[in-house]
């Protein structure tokens, strides 16, 4: 678990935790990555991970929302729009947050996102528990 190595580069501790999880699962990870968009500009992605698979490059998009409240539909809609603009579409899309409301979860799943609820806002005091929860969730998805 290399959370500390990512913390200096991440704007938020949740991004560092997610990056550490994906690195521990064998991905090459970039935090706050600028990814090419269809309009010729770039879009910032909280965590962009990749690994070589038999079918080519396997890409993972992660939006991290480390808030004291649940995220709603408007946040999910923003992420859907951002992903739809990317030149290289991700193979898997996650939204990781403390909590997501029912409408937002339905919209996320309908648009191919996998929501992961940590259950609390991540900080220096609960970072290990957050890592364990996120690791179990992401590893479980890739194992099935």
Euclidean distance between CA atoms 67 and 121, whole angstroms: 6
Question: What angle is formed at CA 3 by the lines to CA 116 and CA 109, rounded to 5 degrees?
Answer: 15
Does the pTM surpass 0.85? The reply is: yes
Sort strands 28-36 and 92-97 into parallel, antiparallel or unpaired: unpaired
Whole-angstrom CA distances from 43 to 87, 88, 130, 142 are 10, 11, 27, 26
pLDDT in tens, 14-56: 999 999 999 999 999 999 889 999 999 999 999 999 999 877 8
Sort strands 28-36 and 42-53 into parallel, antiparallel or unpaired: antiparallel
Q: Say if CB 78 and CB 110 are below 8 A apart.
A: no
pLDDT tens for the 144 residues of the chain, in order: 566 665 656 678 999 999 999 999 999 999 988 999 999 999 999 999 999 987 788 999 999 999 999 999 999 999 999 999 999 999 999 999 999 999 999 999 999 999 999 999 999 999 999 999 999 999 998 875
Q: In what order do the strands lie in the sheet with 28-36?
A: 28-36, 42-53, 56-65, 92-97, 113-117
Q: Say if CB 99 and CB 69 are below 8 A apart.
A: yes
- Residue 108, judged by CB atoms within 10 A of its CB (0-12, 13-18, 19+), counts as buried
């Amino acid at each position: 678990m290399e959370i500390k190595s990512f913390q200096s580069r991440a704007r938020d501790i949740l991004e560092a935790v997610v990056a550490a999880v994906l690195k521990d699962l064998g991905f090459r990870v970039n935090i706050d990555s600028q990814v090419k968009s269809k309009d010729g500009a770039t879009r910032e992605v909280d965590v962009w991970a990749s690994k070589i698979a038999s079918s080519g490059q396997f890409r993972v998009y992660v939006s991290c929302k480390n808030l004291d409240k649940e995220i709603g539909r408007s946040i999910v809609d923003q992420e859907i729009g951002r992903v739809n603009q990317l030149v290289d579409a991700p193979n898997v899309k996650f939204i990781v947050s403390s909590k997501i409301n029912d409408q937002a979860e339905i919209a996320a799943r309908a648009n191919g996102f996998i929501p992961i609820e940590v259950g609390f806002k991540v900080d220096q005091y609960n970072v290990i528990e957050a890592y364990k929860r996120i690791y179990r969730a992401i590893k479980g998805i890739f194992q099935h």
